[in-house]
Copies of this chain bind each other. A is one copy, B any other.
């Protein structure tokens, strides 16, 4: 049993504070975020699969793996500190070390992340100066400012919290995240920072995060790109005094709520994808294996031809079937059923059930579901994508200037 908290954020959890400020990396907008818990937190993370990994990501991965507990996450936007060589590593270490010193904790208790342009030197001195301003601003209502400070081409703040009621009392999970280009399955697609006041042992925390990421952040695509910097972090400080142990009722409630908030964040990223005007859910049903369902979902979610047709509200179901066909998955095209929301489009043996007007009305909505029933097994997979618009091209043709 859980419910969403209105205006919830990463600071809706007991004991977590945050702040977001402008420190001078971007031109005007907030570009530095800090999340902090006095009480030490078990930490878990999932990271990009891109071979090119940014310095802050490698440092954070190392700290999550080696530290029993952490206290803070420091994030800058406007510069990814990726492909910046040894100097980039020194800058990232400096960012981590200075933050730790000013908080009075050891370096490996601070996780760091960066997002923005690749290949430009990080103006680390601006971050150091910014630390003196941001630390005094830490507050239990600062989640929204932090969410704003991690944005790049995002147009909307993405901030959520859920409250889980259990026999022993209530637990909260809060999260903030950012997109919004370079979004593609396999993590490496965005930044997400999630807090909880549950007490959870580190190995279990990692297992829960990895499981939730697999069905949320790893099931979305804006443009099929996997970036060098992105990660999801989950920090648990135990401030609720409720301990989550595997197999208990609390465990299942927590797992369900964590998955749900991750899915909400993932969908928010897709909805706010660069140039996107529509959020599309792709339900692949009755595939022979989970892997086949995933191949098809991913191929449809990444198809430029499907995504442009959706933009044009054109019920071009042939492109959906063709995208499935090029996925490498095992299925029989002649058995496939396609529907948009509850409206049948294609029946087996290529029998058309297409009412162009009704189909176009569905495709004109802000949000709808494409169902593709392979009728060839019993496994399924849900994906989220957005439309591909002229605006995406405009944004990305001229990102650096």
Contact = CB atoms under 8 A, between A and B. Distances in A.
B322 A50 contact: yes
B350 A85 contact: yes
A308 interface: yes
Given A323-B225, A333-B51, A119 B88 contact: no
A359 to B, nearest CB: 12
Contact of A350 (B88, B309, B312, B333): B88
B322 A52 contact: yes
Interface string A364-401: 00000000000000000000000011101111111111
Which size class do A's interface residues fall under? Answer: 35 or more
Contact of A397 (B303, B312, B400): B312
A350 B83 CA distance: 6
A118 B388 contact: no
A51 B399 CA distance: 37
Interface stretch (A92-100, A102-110, A237-245, A313-321): A313-321
Contacts of A181: 305
Interface string A181-203: 11010001000000000000000
A52 B224 contact: no
Given A118-B321, A223-B304, A228-B322, A311 B83 contact: no
A144 interface: no
Given A224-B304, A333-B83, A326 B396 contact: no
B86 A322 contact: no
Q: Which of A184, A188, A352 has the most CB of B within 10 A?
A: A352
A218 interface: no
A305 B330 CA distance: 30
A367 to B, nearest CB: 18
14 contacts: A50-B325, A51-B327, A51-B331, A52-B325, A83-B333, A85-B350, A88-B350, A117-B318, A118-B321, A119-B352, A223-B305, A224-B224, A224-B304, A311-B393
Given A228-B325, A308-B397, A309-B397, 20 more contacts: A50-B325, A51-B324, A51-B327, A51-B329, A83-B321, A85-B350, A118-B321, A181-B305, A182-B305, A188-B326, A224-B302, A225-B322, A225-B326, A226-B322, A308-B395, A312-B397, A312-B401, A314-B400, A389-B393, A390-B394
